[in-house]
Amino acid sequence: MLLLGFLRQSWVIAGLFASTAALAAPTSGAIGGVVELFTSQGCSSCPPADRLLTKLAGRPDTVALTFAINYWDYIGWKDTLAAPEFTARQQAYANSRTDPHVYTPEAVIDGLFDAVGSDGAAIEKAIAHGKSGGMALSVPAHLRESGGKLEIDIGRGAAEPAGIYVLRVARTRTVLISRGENSGRSVTYTNVVRAIRKVGDWDGAPLSLNLTELRSDDEGYVVLLQRGSLGQPGAILGAAKSEGL
């Protein structure tokens, strides 16, 4: 099962209930693009993509996430932020699009499109394509943190099954790399995913969840409503993020 342990922290489902009323339509601040960057501290071509991801993370209408992978560890430097589950997520995307090849830096946009992670024009084109085509981010999603609780609201949408995933995200991490292709470089990573967990299922009807959350002060959360599964991810239908991510 592709679930990452919570690294000395945990989320516990405190309550799960269906809402009786649909959420309001997304506002102008709704998420319009989700960019997942698969990167590695051992990859010399990744730092430009890491910097671009930081810029994308500054946009309120964009969820920008760093997934550190581990398949370059053998060349001399073990990525300090990587986990096998993140590598598996990248491979699962490749399998979903019938392309077995993975690479770094790779950006996956809205769960549907891939681009070189440092190619800003290609990423922007993919975000625009997802918006105009109505293939992704059509379902309103809201996230609130209050009193030690994580409150998630998913709105109404087409009757198609999807999973609700919570990602625990470190806002920033700076790493001094002492070996490998980036030896001697200090690289800052933004919105670094530390854990991902499925917390519920959605069938098109409005849904609310309350979770007990435990995290460090420099972390936040992202919620993804995504078709498929962790092993075979599909289109991201909705997304929300903590303030400041």
Residues with Cβ within 8 Å of residue 18, at least 6 apart in sequence: 205, 206, 207, 208
Q: Look at the chain and report how many structural domains it folds into.
A: 1
What pLDDT score does 131 carry? 83
- Alpha carbon distance 84, 103 (integer Å): 15
What pLDDT score does 239 carry? 98
- Alpha carbon distance 213, 217 (integer Å): 12
In a domain, 131, yes or no: yes
What pLDDT score does 156 carry? 95
Give the pLDDT confidence of 150-203 residue by residue, as tens digits: 999 999 998 889 999 999 999 999 999 999 999 999 999 999 999 999 999 999
State the CATH number of the domain containing residue 148: 2.60.40.10
Give the pLDDT confidence of 41-87 residue by residue, as tens digits: 999 999 999 999 999 999 999 999 999 999 999 999 999 999 999 99
Q: In what order do the strands lie in the sheet with 149-154?
A: 11-17, 207-213, 149-154, 141-146
pTM for the model stands at 0.88
In a domain, 5, yes or no: no
In a domain, 105, yes or no: yes
What pLDDT score does 53 carry? 98
What pLDDT score does 147 carry? 77
In a domain, 217, yes or no: yes
In a domain, 97, yes or no: yes
Residue 3 has pLDDT above 70, yes or no: no
What pLDDT score does 49 carry? 98
Between the alpha carbon of residue 163 and those of residues 37, 98, 166, 234, the distances in Å are 21, 21, 10, 10
What pLDDT score does 100 carry? 82
* Residue 183: domain span: 11-22+30-241
- Alpha carbon distance 5, 111 (integer Å): 23
In a domain, 201, yes or no: yes
In a domain, 2, yes or no: no
Give the pLDDT confidence of 106-142 residue by residue, as tens digits: 999 999 999 999 999 999 999 999 888 788 999 999 9
In a domain, 6, yes or no: no
Between the alpha carbon of residue 229 and those of residues 56, 103, 174, the distances in Å are 26, 21, 31
Q: Residue 81 is encoded by which pair of tokens?
A: 């932020």
Give the pLDDT confidence of 8-33 residue by residue, as tens digits: 333 333 433 333 233 333 333 489 99
